[in-house]
Amino acid sequence: MCAIGTANPPHRIPQLQIADFMASALELDEAGTRRLRALYRVSGIEQRYTVLPDYGRSNGQFEFFPNSPGLEPFPGVGQRMAAYRRYALPLSVQAVQDCLRQLPEVEVGSITHLITVSCTGMYAPGLDIELVAALGLPGHVQRTCVNFMGCYAAVNGLKLAHAFCQATPTARVLLVCTELCTLHFQKSHEDDHLVSNALFGDGAAAVLVQGQPAATGPSLALTAFHCGLEPDGHADMAWHINNFGFEMTLSSYVPRMIQQGIGQLTQRLLADLPVQLTDIRAFAIHPGGRKILESIEQALGLTAHDNRFAYQVLRNYGNMSSATVLYVLRDLLRTLTPADADAPVLSFAFGPGLTLEAMLLTVVYEGKVEIVRNTEDVENVQNVAVLSS
């Protein structure tokens, strides 16, 4: 992995101001408003970014939602997807520009593969084709879309990029994760919807992956991947398209299920590698929520300091679905020094299914990484795809 760029919409809104919007939209009484504000206070989030300025405004000033009691008629899927088409491309371009700015030696025309990831909007011709035109990518660039997989989808995108670089050592893969979660506010008093409304924000992240590290700065070698599935959580984390946008199911049982499964997931990831959990000092964990981070710490014996990059992203951005773990990796990369060379980095992401994705990365400063192992095929040894900052 050779660089991580990020971008957020211009509307940065404090968490408690969003709570006030939600209380008004849901027409809560005084007691309900107090409970909602308490939920927002303990979320671990201080602010979130959104493409919709309405979350920081009061009724009468809205641009997207109706200026009427109860926000009626409430926006349907068509209106939300029109907003996605409007906002996704410019945000994605900003993230890519931030990524490539870090690699002046990389020409846009040298990119061989484009992977786009999103679970918050779809259309065709889609974001991938629009990015080709907006960035001036070659028309023959190989395009792949990873859609509707949720918060763990960036890991699947990295797996694809890694496979492309294994197959073609000269490949340069651009991965773009763009999520506009705040388009899908649900006007519902159900606990799942109250929680999801309190967590999600908008953002985009772009990554360049190639077979060799960049000329300067730290890189991350994609060393191993492992996917776990907890079928008992099938109904506890889900993402469905309904009449009024995409509806998130996020039950209170999810942190407990992740806590029960994360130890075995880690063991299977590391089983055939010369790395033990006690060797790892750097972590990049998807901050699906404060309780999820705390549950992982309890299961693996980590401290809040070990998880500091995840808490930092949660505090400043909320949960941006697939883009979020890349923000965590970005912040970790910024702290690396030559003394960290060869250090392992453990990363997790979670999503519908209940799916638990794990990956091991290795810090590289220069030279060629000799070994890559997929836990599904540990006999297959090839060069590692790398990311650097």
- Looking at the annotation, which residues are catalytic? 151
Task: Assess contact for 341 and 363: CB atoms under 8 A.
Answer: yes
Say if strands 245-250 and 237-242 run parallel, antiparallel, or are unpaired.
antiparallel
Beta bridge partners of 146: 117
Structure tokens at 190: 């159900």
Please, which residues bridge with residue 346 across strands? 283, 360
Between the CA of residue 118 and those of 27, 88, 176, 323, what are the distances in Å? Answer: 31, 10, 9, 9
Q: Is 47 left (phi over 0), alpha (psi -120 to 50) or beta?
A: beta
d(CA 36, CA 320): 21
367: Cβ contacts below 8 Å, ≥ 6 apart: 213
Kindly write down the DSSP assignment for every residue of 85-144, as one continuous string: HHHHHHHHHHHHHHHHHT-TT--GGG--EEEEEESS---SS-HHHHHHHHHT--TT-EEE
| β-strands 142-147, 113-118 pairing | parallel
Q: Across the chain, which distance is largest between two alpha carbons, in Å?
A: 63
Q: Are strands 172-180 and 202-210 parallel, antiparallel or unpaired?
A: antiparallel
CA angle 44–231–181, rounded 5-degree value: 40
Q: How many C-alpha atoms does 19 have within 13 Å on its Cβ side?
A: 20
